[in-house]
Structure 1
Amino acid sequence: MRKSIATVCLSGSLSEKLTAAARAGFHGVEIFENDLLASRLSPEQVRERAADLGLAIELYQPLRDIEAVSDEQFTRNLRRAEHKFQVMRQLGADVLLVCSQVSGQAVDDDALAAEQLRLLAERAHEHGIRVAYEALAWGRHVSTYDHAWRIVQQADHPALGLCLDSFHILSRDSDLAGIERIPAEKIFFLQLADAPVMAMDVLQWSRHHRCFPGQGGLDVAGLVRHVVNAGYRGPLSLEVFNDVFRQSEAGPTATDALRSLIALEKRAGVCAPPAPLTQPSGIAFAAITSTDPQPVTALLGALGFVRTHKQAAGNRPELWEQNDARVLVDSGSATRRDGARLAGIGVRCPDPDALVDRAASLLVPVLVRRRGEPNVSPHTISAPGRTEVFLCATSDRATGACPATAGALLGIDHVALTQPGAQFDQAVLFHRSVLGLRPQESVEVADPCGLLRSRALSNDDGSLRLVLNLALVPEGDDHPAQHIAFVTDDILAAARRFRAAGAETLAIPANYHDDLDARYDLDPAELAAFREFGILYDRDEHGGEFRHFYTATVGRVFFEVVQRTGGYDGYGAANTFIRLAAQRS
């Protein structure tokens, strides 16, 4: 299906927005009126510029507060509409978006609304223009698509139809099945946006928190299936109001927008039966780059890791192993600013070539590495946030360094990746669409100097877990630390072994453990050990338990050791603010 984007989604001038949309690969655009009014290009020049770029102008928007008003007001509204018709003819656009009334001047009278919309459609038809009527979720009298459809039916004019907007429909929790009862020729346009599930005023939700499909929590794919089942074959068009997108570079945002539509088509299966997506089956290793690897390897040694591979050429990278937990340490691409950083993860997948093909189809850069690492495919995928995803065979497992001692680390439980603000939603879409991971709802945690937004993703069996973090911190501190969490079946033994190796766990305030004693009926000996070794504790509503401790931070990397019991499936979010405060003290 044709793919379109509203200019309101992108930053910059109208000319810059058109260029970004064309370079990303869109077929068309919706011209947002404010962008045209602020442009130094005439409507004819905009038309020529779009044509030169190979873009169709699919829609002009919006015309507001038209229907269900007094005769005098409607006469003024028609005069305003006539001006827009002239502009649209100069632009070469033939569909006009009309939003349902929000004005206090409007009356609750469907018959009057239908009559006036029919008169508007008659005028539009004389100019070769169609009117797409859209129910705003906060409309004064018309706020649902089925109500708007009843008015369009009553108006009964061939130049009047519907614009269906996924945000307005899904935010009202409307019945999607009813869409299939609308004749295809009456669905003039389809606008798409996702959003995180939030309890807030719907207007503010819409104006500031929309995102591209796949980045939020709404069932956009389900809605698209119903619209296509109704017979709609027009553009899939994005209309996203988002404060971050409007402050970000237009080119990468447009590429991410198109990626979201390609992934949406795959999830919705609207062009062909969706190809089965084989999920990665676990984390094979994590890769760290450091200008001075010694502090990183010292921590790994204290945690019980053994260096099992040191590449001859340039003495890098080093492979450190313990059971099925592996860490590559490399000094090749680190910078002085980072010191040490988490540069990538290796994921096990049954068919690396298929995953590479999927990534390429979703406009994700695929890199071919010039130097080999042990057991790693030559292909890597470039993920948001300066992170690479290395592809490993499913059968790939550690071959040595498998201590059976108490407190040994068994594997990588999860990896936490901190994202720049503009790339947080991009990273959610990447890991969901390329790796097939399931995102959980976002969690916000108070940081002593700001706010941390976090969103976890995992495969179906939990063998691959990622946590994406967005730290809203003061200017100049925009690269908070990332970390690797290792799993053990004996957290106290792991902590004692770490301490015996001469290392110290992150010191946790005594007040935390005092409160822990008040909240949970813990064994006094266990609580005393928690205090001694800085171990944190959480319990879910089903009785599952989570015990974890942290190491010191080296550069922008630290390590966590966790123990899960009783089916605990979270990440100790209740303790995150304690960890953040302890790391800053």
Structure 2
Amino acid sequence: MRTSIATVCLSGTLDEKLVAARDAGFDGVEIFEPDLVASSDSPEQIRTRAEELGLSLDLYQPFRDFEGVGPDLLEQNLRRAASKFALMNRLGIETMLLCSNVATARSGDEQLAAAQLRELGDLAERFGVRVAYEALAWGRFVDGYEQAARIVRLADHANIGLCLDSFHILSKGHNPEAIETIPAEKIFFVQVADAPLLSMDVLSWSRHHRLFPGEGGFGLGAFMAHLVRTGYDGPVSLEIFNDTFRQAEPGATAIEARRSLRWLEHEASTFLGASGGRAARMSVTELPGVRPASEVAYVELRTEALEDMRELLGQLGFQSQGRHRTKSVELWSQGGARIVLGRPRTDAPQPTVAGIGLSVPDPGTALRRAIELFANEVPREQDAGDEPLVGVRAPDGSEVFFGAATRTQPPWVHEFGDPVAGGTPLIERVDHLNLAQPWQHFDAGVLFLHSVLDLQTQPSTDVAAPVGLVRSQVLRSADGIVRIALNLVPSGERGEAILPQHIAFAASDVLSLARSARERGFRPLDIPANYFDDLQARHAMDPLLLDELRELNVMYDRDESGEFLHFYTPPIGTVFLEVLERRGGYEGYGALNAPVRLAAQYHQRRHAESSA
């Protein structure tokens, strides 16, 4: 599959955008006209620079408001087009994007539009270029790709074809199956974009909320499969209007973009299945398949507050297995939950939740998949006798390591010494991770977890916090063994301070654990009395259970499938812990309790600051 990206997707100067696209492995770029106009380089210099970088210049865009106009305006439009065609000759670009008219059209007559496109085709032919006509979702008269295809067919000109844009097609709810009725030679260009499923005007949706494939809710695998079946083999390009991407570092964004197209190629191949698609000329290949992880083998915490974290883990019933025989980390465990604890590294800045280890059936295949998705490998420093683990770096700087699944505890555990004998553990395993993400890493984090780890996105939620709305996106494996929630940190220092990361542990009896932890000196996050009064109103609680929840600061939720009990520790630096118990078939995370927890953490922090 030939890959391309519009320069509007990236921040920086035009040259910085070209370099970022080259470094990420793109074949070509679309030149967005404002980027050219703002550049200090001449069209000839830009052409030469792209050649030096090994990039093709695939499309010049956009040309607007051409068809459906009166004779006088048509003459002006043709004169305007001639100047753009001459510019394209200087750039060495052969195809121009023509958007359907949104402002100046006075007629929706398809015969008139086709006749005017035919005149434009004659002009384009003289310059040796082509015009790709695209139906904008908010076009004045032409807002659907099938309508645009009819007009192109009526124009009947070799230099007039179509641009198919997944956003304009899927945002309007158009069925992409009819793409297969379009002759491949009349599809001049293809642009793809994902988006969250929102209820808003389509223009604002398009201009501010587009995402890379795999980050939103569109069915892009089916869209691509229909395209492949036409026999189209030209560029597949990303055209993403997104306020975050235009502020983020262009190199990282370009890698994220390239990862999304490799994921899309996999999705198309999966959708096509064994048939491969009739008339297919575009090569789309699946990613290496990965089987689900059998467990979260460990979570790595990096904090300067080691003594406080050791004390907290001990209060919750974790036991120290000692320091690693060669590395400056230590292991704390209880049941199947393991925490690798160490101080922050200076060579590679990471979040406090610095990494996770997953036990998988085939670590080598998991690594190959990640590398094909442009993740950077992070080899483990290991000495003779150490268990081989392979890992990659996530967009936020954390690490994911893969180890071989076993029926007993992972072999690397013995690198810390012999397991410490203890009583029956109340904590059984890691239930989920809740990771705060800076604004520039949130969507990239969703794509990384979705594509690299094959976790499926769940409906996102917005949670009210004292410092603003927190957007939360849960991704999980089908069996629920791996669950990761990404939280978008509200902007500003206050948001980052009040939204630390957290690890949630599954317990067999959360009330007994809360009581035994209190006997060891543990003080949970203090939950206001109003919350427990509201619980009684909402759920008609058993008074004895309600009194116990209130006494232990344990929160509660219930749905038709079961119950959920959980409590929180105070934050230690930028991380805190949660212990939970799922009863029956409860699969949620206590969403109604989240605003209360966030407010309690905020008040605790403000009290600590005022007391300092």
After TM superposition, the score normalised by the length of structure 1 is: 0.95
1:453 aligns with 2:510: no
AA at the equivalent of 1:265: E
Q: Deviations over 1:405-447 (max 9, x none)?
A: 5x80111000111112111111111111111111123221121
| 1:510 aligns to 2:522 (yes or no) | no
Residue 429 (structure 2) pairs with residue 417 (structure 1): no
Distance change (3 Å), C-alpha of 1:141 and 1:326: same
- Please name the residue that 1:527 is paired with: 546
Would the alpha carbon gap of residues 264 and 461 (structure 1) be closer, same or farther in structure 2, given more than 3 Å must change?
A: same
Counterpart residue identity of residue 357, structure 2 = G
Is the CA contact 1:326–1:398 (under 8 Å) kept in the aligned structure 2? no
Aligned length: 580
Give the match for residue 336 of structure 2.
324
Q: How far off is 1:24 after superposition? A: 1.5
2:582 equivalent to 1:571? no
**2:375 aligned to 352, 356, 364, which one?**
364
Q: Is the 8 A contact 1:449 1:474 kept in 2?
A: no
Whichever residue aligns with residue 272 of structure 1, its letter is T
Matched residues in 2 for 1:538 and 1:134: separation? 50
Paired residues of 1:290 and 1:334 also in contact (CA < 8 A) = no
Q: Aligned pair in 2 of structure 1 residues 461, 401: CA closer, same or farther (>3 Å)?
A: farther
Could you tell me how far apart the structure 2 residues matched to 1:75 and 1:283 are? 66
Does the aligned pair in 2 maintain the 1:385–1:418 contact within 8 Å? Answer: no
- Alpha-carbon deviation of 1:475? 3.4
Question: What is the alpha-carbon distance in structure 2 between the residues aligned to residue 362 and residue 85 of structure 1?
Answer: 37
Letter in 2 for 1:355: A
Q: Is the counterpart of residue 149 in structure 1 residue 168 in structure 2?
A: no
Aligned residue number for residue 186 of structure 2? 186
Q: Is 1:580–2:598 an aligned residue pair?
A: yes
Q: Secondary structure of 2:61's partner?
A: strand
The answer as to whether partners of 1:136 and 1:168 remain within 8 angstroms in 2 is yes
Aligned residue in 2 for 1:166: 166
AA paired with 1:324?
A: G
Does the Cα contact within 8 Å between 1:376 and 1:390 map onto a contact in 2?
no
Contact 2:379–2:390 (Cα < 8 Å) also in 1? yes
User: Do 1:451 and 1:473's aligned partners in 2 also have CA atoms closer than 8 Å?
Assistant: no
Is the 8 Å Cα contact of residues 390 and 403 (structure 2) preserved in structure 1? no
**Structure 2 residues not aligned, in runs of 5+:** 270-282, 411-418, 604-612
Q: Distance in 2 between matches of 1:393 and 1:50?
A: 44
State the secondary structure of the residue aligned to 2:493.
coil
Aligned equivalents of 2:297, 2:10: Cα separation in 1 = 37
Counterpart AA for 2:2: R
- The one-letter amino acid of 1:53's match is L
CA contact (8 A) 2:289 2:369 kept: no
Alignment partners' CA distance in 1, 2:238 and 2:35: 16
Pair 1:539 & 2:558 matched = yes
The aligned amino acid for 2:480 is G
Cross-structure match for 2:99: 99
CA distance in 1, matches of 2:218, 2:385: 41
Shift of 1:403: 5.8
1:290 partnered with 2:312: no
Deviation at 1:310, TM superposition (A): 2.3
**CA distance in structure 1 between the partners assigned to 2:557 and 2:491 by the alignment:** 26
The separation in 1 between residues aligned to 2:467 and 2:491, in whole angstroms, is: 6
* 1:245 corresponding residue in structure 2: 245
1:545 Cα offset (Å): 2.2
SS at match of 2:292: coil
Q: Give, in whole Å, the separation in 1 of the partners of 2:372 and 2:383.
A: 25
* Cα deviation code 1:35-91 (max 9, x no counterpart): 111111111111111111111110000111111111111111111111111111111
Q: Which residue does the alignment assign to 2:609?
A: none
Tell me how far 1:512 sits from its aligned partner. Answer: 1.3
Which of 354, 358, 376 is 2:365 aligned to?
A: 354
| Contact 1:266-1:275 at 8 Å conserved across structures | no
Structure 1's unaligned 5+ residue stretches are none
Identity of aligned residues (%): 48
TM-score, normalized by length of structure 2?
A: 0.91
Secondary structure of the residue that 2:108 maps to in structure 1? Answer: coil
CA distance in 1 between counterparts of 2:575 and 2:227 reads 47
Q: Which amino acid counterpart does residue 131 of structure 2 have in structure 1?
A: V
Q: Give 2:395's aligned residue.
A: 384
Q: Does 1:430 align with 2:442?
A: no
**Counterparts of 1:45 and 1:184 in 2: how far apart (Å)?**
33
